[in-house]
Amino acid sequence: AQSVTQLDSQVPVFEEAPVELRCNYSSSVSVYLFWYVQYPNQGLQLLLKYLSGSTLVKGINGFEAEFNKSQTSFHLRKPSVHISDTAEYFCAVRGLGGAQKLVFGQGTRLTINP
């Protein structure tokens, strides 16, 4: 079984500042890792994914994340945020067997202040 812990429930930052949203996971098997963004009253949109290869992955909207196997982390970063980045962000893991279902963290609400 897999589990995901998002260490911050809310992160307020000023516009154009850098941001890091933290994610740690637990799994007894190899996993794929994902970050999704959810805007109010909408479904989830894929930001980026780590499957294999380079541990630094780049996604949409200027976001990137780094996979750290030894620390079982997959933190999301953006060097300069915009008002439009205000949303809920979810880290998720997927095991490679069975239903290959996504297991989500509880989410981090990113609020960008002008």
The Cα–Cα gap between 52 and 105 comes to 21
| 111 near another protein, judged by CB under 8 A | no
**By CB under 8 A, which span of 12-20, 34-42, 58-66, 73-81 interacts with another protein?**
34-42
The Cα–Cα gap between 48 and 9 comes to 20
Smallest separation (angstroms) from another protein to the CB of 80:
26
With the C-alpha atoms ordered 64, 87, 11, 4, is the resulting torsion angle positive or negative? negative
| 63 near another protein, judged by CB under 8 A | no
Q: Is 81 left (phi over 0), alpha (psi -120 to 50) or beta?
A: beta
| Tokens, residue 97 | 């067997």
Question: Which residue's CB is nearer to another protein, number 58 or number 101?
Answer: 101
Annotate each residue in 69-108 with x if it binds another protein (CB under 8 A) or - if it does not, as one string.
---------------------x-x---x-xxxxxxxxxx-
| 114 near another protein, judged by CB under 8 A | no
Sort 104 into a burial class: Cβ within 10 Å, 0-12 / 13-18 / 19+: middle
Residues near another protein (CB under 8 A): 4, 9, 32, 34, 36, 41-46, 49, 51, 90, 92, 96, 98-107
